[in-house]
Amino acid sequence: MYEGPVQDLIDELGRLPGIGPKSAQRIAFHLLAADPADIGRLQDALQRVREGVVFCEVCGNVAEQSICRICADPRRDPKLVCVVEEPKDVLAIERTREYRGRYHVLGGALDPLSGVGPDQLRIRELLNRIGTDEITEIILATDPNTEGEATATYLVRLLRDFPGLAVTRLASGLPMGGDLEFADELTLGRALTGRRAV
């Protein structure tokens, strides 16, 4: 145990996801030896995150103002909405530079084992958007795991009755750069089901 503020800093850093006691100690001593200007910038960034970040009123993504940059951009296709679980999934899809539509962030996936049901997600907000905006296609981009698939199934059943609305799901199958012999039965089965003519 270290004395006073150093131990407090290690304890606080250790509460962050993915940081164990050893990593917390290493970061704490790095900060102790760091330039005061660097510490100041870190303090400012933390302060701005706490005070300045809000959730977009339209899509639920993290934003600086009440409407996020993507929802406010007139060049984005308002007819296409990609439904994702978390704000970090928006960034993952943006990195592809393939998608020009807008997003809807659910805030998680249906996970009864963690007590997350439909009322804990932004599903009602999605239904309201479809009812009022000029949306013609919903792309379900929830994670390809048990919770994400169950969420997609639930949404498909909710959305299939909207007239003129296409509901699509991200393709799933073999990852690029992998070996076929190591693919598990579920993934290979999905890849076979979703095969396409070339």
Q: Which residues bind another protein (CB under 8 A)?
A: 17-18, 110-115, 117-118, 123, 127, 144-146, 149-150, 153-154, 157-158, 161, 175, 177-178, 182-187, 189
DSSP code at position 169: E
* Cβ 29 to another protein shortest distance, Å: 21
The answer to whether the CB of 102 falls within 8 A of the CB of 90 is no
- The string of DSSP letters for 25-66 reads HHHHHHHHHS-HHHHHHHHHHHHHHHHH-EE-TTT--EESSS
By beta-carbon proximity to another protein, the closer residue of 54 and 186 is: 186
Go through the chain and tell me how many residues it has.
198
CB of 16 to another protein, least distance (A): 12
CB 64 to another protein: min, Å: 28
As measured in angstroms, the least distance from the Cβ of 145 to another protein is 6
Residue nearer to another protein on the CB measure, 6 or 156:
156
Decide: 131 and 74 in contact? Cβ < 8 Å.
no
Is residue 135 within 8 A of residue 141, CB to CB? The reply is no
**Residue 106 C-beta: closest distance to another protein, Å:** 14
| Residue with smaller CB distance to another protein, 24 or 123 | 123
| Tokens representing residue 27 in the block | 């970061």
Phi first, then psi: what are they for 25, rounded to 5°? -65, -40
Nearest residue (CB) to another protein, 56 versus 110: 110
